[in-house]
A and B are shown apart, each in its own frame.
Chain A
Amino acid sequence: MSPPDVLTAARRQAVSVSLATGLYGVSFGALSVTSGLDVAQTMALSLLLFSGGSQFALIGVLGAGGAVGAAVASAALLGARNALYGAQLAPLLALPASRLVPAAQLTIDESTAVATAQPDRTAARVGFWWTGAGVFVLWNLFTLVGALAGDRLGDPRTYGLDAAAAAAFLALVWPRLGGPQGRTARLVAAAAVLVALATTPVVPAGVPVLLAAAVAILVGVLSPALPAVPVPGADDPGADDAAPPGTTGADGPADRPDHRRSAP
C-alpha cells in the first residue's frame, strides 16, 4: 500500500498532465473541421480513436487529398506504439479482465508516462486511471470547442492553421529526438523528411508519409542493436520531483519515461 502523499502526488501529476494535453484538443478540433471533416466525425475521432498523433495524421492525410487506405494506414502505424505501452502496463497494473477494455482505450503516451513513473503498483494504477480519464474528458471537451470554433472560420490559411498543423507534428516528434539516445531517431527523421519531400511530386497524396515509415522499418529491422528510443511522456513540470529516478515498480520498464510534451 502506498503512503497517502505518494497517491496525492500521482493525482496531482495526472491533473496537470490532463490540463496541458486536453487544452490542445482545441487545435485538433479546429484543424479537423478545416481539413474537411464535420463536427460529428471530429468528435468520433477524439472519442473512439483517442490517440493524438494518429488523429492528427488521419486528418493531415485526408486534408491533403489522400485516399482512405493511406490515411488509415498512417493512423494505424502511429498507433502501433500504443501496443508497446499496453505491454508495459499489463504487468505493472495487473488489472482484472473486466477492466481491460476501458484500460486499453485509455492507453496513450500520457497515461503510460505517469503510470510508469510511480514508485509502486497502487500509485501506478492511480496515475494511469486519473491521467487516462482526465485526458479523455478534457481532450474531448476541448476538441468540441475547437471544432465548433473552426466551423465558423473561413479560409484556414488566413489564421495560419496550416502552419499550426505542421507545428503540431513538430511538437509531437520533438521529445523523441533528444539526448544521446536520440541519434538514430534524428537520422531516421532526416531520412523521412527527404523521402517524403522527394516522393511528393510523383506519388498520390498520403503515400510519401507511408514510404517514410518504410524507411524506419528497414532501419529498425536491419540495423544491429541500437540503444532504445525513450518513451516520451507528458509535459508536466511537477513530474520530476514527484518521481525521483530509480523508483519504477518492480515489474516496471527499465527506462524511465521522459517527461516532456506529447499527444495523447
Chain B
Amino acid sequence: MTALWLAVLLSSAACFALKLAGHLLPRHWLAEPRVARTAALVTVALLAALVAVQTATDGGRLVLDARVPALAVAAVALALRAPFVVVVVLAAATAAGLRVLGMA
C-alpha cells in the first residue's frame, strides 16, 4: 500500500471512530466544559495554522508572494459575508491575476 493510501484510510478510520464515539460515550464525559472548550480551540488553532502555512510558506521556507494579497481579498469577501465558493474563487483569481502581471 502506498503512503498516500495509508494516510487516506488511517485518517478516515480515525475520524469515523471519533464521530461514533460522540454518539456512544456517556454524555457527561464530553459535556465537561473544559473538554468542549479545548476541542473548539484546537479546531481554531489548526485552521489558523493551516492558513498561515498555506499562505506564507513553501517547502519549509517563509515566502511572501501573490498568495498574501489573495488572502486579503478572501478576508474582505468573508467580512462581506460572501459564500464559501465565492471566497475561494476570488482568492484564486487574485493570485492568478497577479501572477499574469508578473508577481511570484
- Footprint of B on A, CB under 8 Å? 20-21, 23-24, 26-27, 36-38, 41, 44-45, 48-51, 53-54, 56-58, 60, 62, 64-65, 68, 71-72, 74-91, 95, 100-101, 103-105, 107, 157-174, 176-177, 184-185, 188-193, 195-197, 200-201, 205, 208-209, 211-213, 215-217, 219-221, 225-226, 228-229, 231, 235, 260-261
Bound Cα distance from A80 to B42, whole angstroms:
9
Q: Please name all residues of chain A whose beta carbon is closer than 8 Å to the beta carbon of B25 when the two chains form the complex.
A: 83, 87
Q: How many residues of B contact A (CB 8 A)?
A: 77
Q: Please name all residues of chain A whose beta carbon is closer than 8 Å to the beta carbon of B96 when the two chains form the complex.
A: 158-160
Cross-chain contact A83 with B93 (CB below 8 angstroms): no
- Footprint of A on B, CB under 8 Å? 3-12, 14-16, 18-25, 27, 29-31, 33-57, 59-62, 66-67, 70-71, 74-75, 78, 81, 83-85, 87-97, 99
Cross-chain contact B85 with A72 (CB below 8 angstroms): no
Cross-chain contact A79 with B51 (CB below 8 angstroms): no
Q: Please name all residues of chain A whose beta carbon is closer than 8 Å to the beta carbon of B88 when the two chains form the complex.
A: 24, 27, 164, 167-168, 171
Cross-chain contact A226 with B15 (CB below 8 angstroms): no
Cross-chain contact A80 with B41 (CB below 8 angstroms): no
User: CB < 8 Å: which of A82, A157, A197 contacts B15?
Assistant: A82
Bound Cα distance from A86 to B98, whole angstroms:
44
Given A105-B16, A105-B19, residue A195 in contact with residue B49 (CB < 8 A): yes
Cross-chain contact B66 with A163 (CB below 8 angstroms): yes
